[in-house]
Structure formats: structure tokens, C-alpha cells
Amino acid sequence: MEATHAHGAGHAHGDDHSHRPKGIMRWITTTNHKDIGTMYLWFSFAMFMVGGAMALIIRAELFQPGLQYVEPEFFNQMITLHGLIMVFGAIMPAFVGFANWMIPMMIGAPDMAFARMNNWSFWLLPPAGILLTASMFVPGGAAGTGWTLYPPLSIQMGIGMDMAIFAVHILGMSSIMGSINIVTTILNLRAPGMPLMRMPMFCWTWLITGYLLIAVMPVLAGAVTMILTDRHFGTSFFNAAGGGDPVLFQHIFWFFGHPEVYIIALPAFGVVSHVIPAFARKPIFGYTSMVYAIASIALISFIVWAHHMYVVGMPVAGQLYFMYATILIAVPTGVKVFNWVATMWRGSMTFETPMLFALGFLFLFTIGGFTGLVLSNTAVDVQLQDTYYVVAHFHYVMVAGALFSAFAAVYYWLPKWTGHMYDETLGQWHFWTSIVSFNIAFFPQHFLGLAGMPRRIPDYALQFTDFNQVSTVGAFGFGLSQLLFLYVVLKAIRGGEKAPAKPWEGATGLEWTLPSPPPYHSFEEPPVLTETKGHA
């Protein structure tokens, strides 16, 4: 799809600028999708640093057997906050940030559908992030339950647990408002001549993710509210002595938790589905099957939750059902991987930083997918459940999957956002240091899990020492590499080679018809779409 429209160099936006408050009030009161997108991304990066520091405390303690730096109760708080902050504070807001920045530009809209609600969805995040982080400093410390918050352990915790519950409530509200906004924007504000089946893949992934979020965030909110009332108001949802069942929480939590995995993964798929065609200079292969694959993954994700619970002692028929349903997810996921490879096939490829991260994503996410297949096998999972194998598996999916895709997105769109090209050499250094140190950190964890090391322990038996040391070295390397990322981004914001409207030769879509940086309101009048071959 190509577009012709009226945006020229002399495009008049002076009216918007003069109304805007200056300084901090600009950011507090803004209803602009770009400002809000920027705030989401910086918030996400700040939380990424906090969660990353916690990961390094965990890895430092695990460098040797025995207790060296932290006490076990503090270690448990670190694993809990690391998980919650990375999932809810870093990865999810990052992709909401991309959605805010890019979706209006991709579909030819001036802004998001609900601009004021957009402001509110963002400004709910900082209090939640502060609640989570500050819970470390209250008497008894933060929740030490792991991010899964399983009762009855979560019933035993101190006030830090209540703060985590409240933070989850706020984050949930923010996510629900954000997704309603994104869904409405995509459904209602597309430029004339852009039917659903021709809209950019990133919009498709976010449309479906939006529905997933609206469906499952209330479920999580319900689950943590039940913990809250069990803790303080004498209910017994999860207490057998009062007629409840601790396992009920796990069912509710994972009914949220499994779709949550795809809430994180689908927008990542969307980004990669833009980057690979752009740098292969070839349209995405199998657009229609990609859309169907995303939709089937999303649907199946609702009916596989108990594969996180193979050892709770559910009936054997339940175990078999959840195994079969889980195995089924490999089919649409495989389709996506095959489609990306076919997109590259006979292309004319170049390997700038976004493409490198997209390839890193493809390679490592596939490893994470395959270990997921191993874990889906109930009999094998009985050995691997709650071991480091699982830790390795979901870090391949979350870090090498979602985070690498987020890096690809930042490098891909940074010239558009800032109007400057980033430093390509340093970007590639960031990629290579990240991918090497990531694998040093996480690949050995597969071995630890197979050999029988449980997860969530601050101390371990001697035979696990060697791989833990390797893993810790890799983790610190990965952490340091991210400082390079910060430097590259800051450098591009401050200056650099001027970016043209379309800095990537093979990129397609409306966002590249706007100048870099784009005007404050993306499209004040809908662009006119003329049909050409391929998809937007």
C-alpha cells in the first residue's frame, strides 16, 4: 500500500505547539500519542534497569554455593520483584509504548482514539512501579513468593504483599485502559481503504493482544483480590481449613498467566514481521496465514493453563488434555517461524542492527519454543517442573524473544522518532555483546535443570557450581551490554546523521511517508491509500 497525502515541509502545526504547557506539565498533561509513547518507553527502560539490578543480585549470590551476599528471605524478595517488574514494568509497557508511537502512524490516524484515557493509562504506571520497588523497604520486606504469588505462602507475607497486590491492581487497570484504547484505535481510526486484512502486522498482533489483555487482566485482579481478602478479611478461598483450595489460585493465576505469555510474545512477533521484510526487501510471506496463526495462538492460549501445574496432582485425564492442547500451540508457532524464513528466502538482505536483533529473536525464540515443547510432555515435565530448565526456557522466550524484538523495534523506529540515525557500529556491538552474553547466561541453565537444580533457591548442591558460575559471568556481561544500548539511544536523541522520511530502503507503510521526526499530530487528514502489490 502506498499513500499520497498532504504532509509537506511547511505543514502547519503551530496551533498545537502554542497550546502546550512547557516543562514537566507538558508531560503530566499530555494527551499526545507520541509523548505518551515516549514516556512508556522511558518508564519501561527505568524498570528494566531496576529489574536487571535485581537479577544481578540473584546471579551474584548464585556464583558460589553457600550464602555470600544476601539472606534467603531477601533472595526470595529479589526473585519476586525481578519477575513482577520485568513482566509488568518493563516488557509490557515497552510494547504499549511502541503501540502508542506507531499504531496511529501506521493506520493514518491523527492520534489514539481516547487521548485523555491514554494519559491516565500511562500515569497509573509510576505509582505501581514505586509501590512494587518501595515494598522492599517496609517491615518484613517485599513479597517473597515468586512472581506467581502462590498462597498459602503469600498469606504469610507482610505488608509488602499488600503493596504488590495493590500494584498489580493498578497495573491491571492501566493495561485494560491501554488495550481498550489500542483496540478502538485499530478498529475505528484506520484510513479509508485499509481493510483489516490489509493492515500492518504490528496492528494485527496488537489488536489480538488487546483482546487477550481485556480478557485476562480482570482474572488476575480477581485472584490477587481473593488473596487480599484471605489475608485480611477472614475469607478462605485458598485455605483448606475453611473449605478453600490452594490449587484454585494456581488455576486462576495461570488462566491469566498463560495468555500473558502471548500478550508479551504477540507484539514481539508483530515487530519482527515488519523488520524482516524491510531488510529482506521483500513482502512478508503468507500474510493471511500469519494472521490466522496469531489468532489461533491467542485462542489456544486460553485452554492450556494447567501445563504450569502438572505436579499439583490433577486427574490423569486433565494432565493428558493439557499436554495435547499445549503441543497443539507448536503448530501455529511453527507456521510463523516458517513464514519468516520464507520471507528471507530469495530476498536481498542487509544486516543493520534491527535485522540482527530480529534474526537473534528468530534463532533464540525458536530454541525457547522447542524447550517449551519438551516441557509440554507431562512425563518429562515431572522431572523439569520448578527446575532451572524452566528458568532457561522462559528467559529464551522472554529475553531473547520479547526483549530482542523490543531492541529491534527501537533501532528500527529510532530514526523516525528522533530524526537522527543511531550509531550503526555501536548498535551492532550492542547486538553481539547481548546475544553472546545472553547465551552464556542462560544456555547452561538448561543443563542445571536437567541435572536437578531447583529454581528459586539462594544456595545449591556442589555439583551445580560450574554452570552457575558461567551463568553469572554471562548475566553480568548482559547487564553491562545494556548500558551501551542506553548510550546509543541517548546519542541518537542528541544528534547524528539526519534521518530521511524513510531511512530503510525496504520499509513499507504509512509511517514512513511522514517526515522524521513526524509532526506532533500524525495525520490530521486521512491519507489516501492507493492499492499496490503486497501489504502495508
Partner 1 sequence: MGMNNKTKSRLAGLALMAWSGMALAAWEFDFQTPATKAAQTVIDLHDLMMIIIFVIFIAVFAVMFYSVFAHRKSKGHPAAQFHDNTLVEIAWTVIPLLILVAMAWPATKAVLNMRDTSQADITIKATGYQWKWGYDYLKGEGEGIRFLSLTSTPAEQIRGTAPKGGNYLLETDRHVVVPVGKKIRVLTTATDVIHSWWVPALAVKQDAIPGYVRDTWFKAEKEGIYRGQCAELCGKDHAYMPVVVEVVSAEKYTKWVEEQKKQMAAAADEGGKTYSMDELKSRGEKVYAANCVACHQANGKGLPPAFPALDGSKIAKGPKADHIAIVLHGKPNTAMAAFGGQLGDGDIAAVVTYERNAWGNKTGDVVQPADIKAARK
Is there a catalytic annotation at residue 273?
A: yes
Is there a catalytic annotation at residue 26?
A: no
Is there a catalytic annotation at residue 535?
A: no
- By CB under 8 A, tell whether 334 contacts partner 1: yes
Strand partners, 508: none
- Give the C-alpha separation, 267 to 110, whole Å: 22
- Give the C-alpha separation, 456 to 58, whole Å: 10
Binding residue for partner 1, selected from 130, 188, 324, 530, defined by CB under 8 A: 324
Residue 387 carries which DSSP code?
A: B
| Residue 213 or 276 having the CB closest to partner 1 | 276
Show the 3-state SS of 396-459.
HHHHHHHHHHHHHHHHHHHHHHHCECCCHHHHHHHHHHHHHHHHHHHHHHHHHHHHCCECCCCC
Strand partners, 454: 387
Q: Which of residues 173-202 bind partner 1 (CB under 8 A)?
A: none
Binding residue for partner 1, selected from 218, 452, 515, 519, defined by CB under 8 A: 452
Exposed, middle or buried: residue 457 (CB in 10 Å: 0-12, 13-18, 19+)? middle
Q: Which of residues 67-86 bind partner 1 (CB under 8 A)?
A: 67-68, 72-73, 76
In b/e form, how buried is each residue of 286-319, taking b as 16+ CB within 10 angstroms?
A: bbeebbebbbbbbebbeebbbbbbbeeebeeeeb
Under rule CB under 8 A, how many of the chain's residues touch partner 1? Answer: 101
Is there a catalytic annotation at residue 307?
A: yes
Binding residue for partner 1, selected from 467, 478, 485, 523, defined by CB under 8 A: 467
| Residue 127 or 286 having the CB closest to partner 1 | 286
Least separation in angstroms between residue 187's CB and partner 1 is 25
Least separation in angstroms between residue 218's CB and partner 1 is 25
Is there a catalytic annotation at residue 5?
A: no
Is there a catalytic annotation at residue 430?
A: no
Binding residue for partner 1, selected from 146, 257, 503, 509, defined by CB under 8 A: 146
- By CB under 8 A, tell whether 144 contacts partner 1: yes
Q: Which amino acid is at 424?
A: E
Q: Which of residues 492-511 bind partner 1 (CB under 8 A)?
A: 506
Is there a catalytic annotation at residue 333?
A: yes
Question: Residues 296, 86, 414, 213: is their CA dihedral positive or negative?
Answer: positive
Least separation in angstroms between residue 117's CB and partner 1 is 37
- By CB under 8 A, tell whether 233 contacts partner 1: no
* Cell numbers representing residue 500 in the block: 530521511
**Rounded to the nearest 5°, which phi and psi values hold at 86?**
-65, -40
Is there a catalytic annotation at residue 455?
A: yes
- By CB under 8 A, tell whether 241 contacts partner 1: yes
- Selection from 303, 475, 460, 334 nearest residue 395 by Cα: 475
- By CB under 8 A, tell whether 57 contacts partner 1: no
Binding residue for partner 1, selected from 464, 485, 520, 523, defined by CB under 8 A: 464
- By CB under 8 A, tell whether 89 contacts partner 1: no
- By CB under 8 A, tell whether 336 contacts partner 1: no
Measured between alpha carbons, how far is residue 305 from residues 129, 216, 237, 317, 522 in Å? 27, 12, 20, 15, 40
Is there a catalytic annotation at residue 260?
A: yes
Q: Which of residues 413-442 bind partner 1 (CB under 8 A)?
A: none
Binding residue for partner 1, selected from 52, 127, 222, 283, defined by CB under 8 A: 283
- Give the C-alpha separation, 44 to 38, whole Å: 10
The catalytic residues are 82, 111, 147, 174-175, 258, 260, 262, 273, 307-308, 333, 336, 455
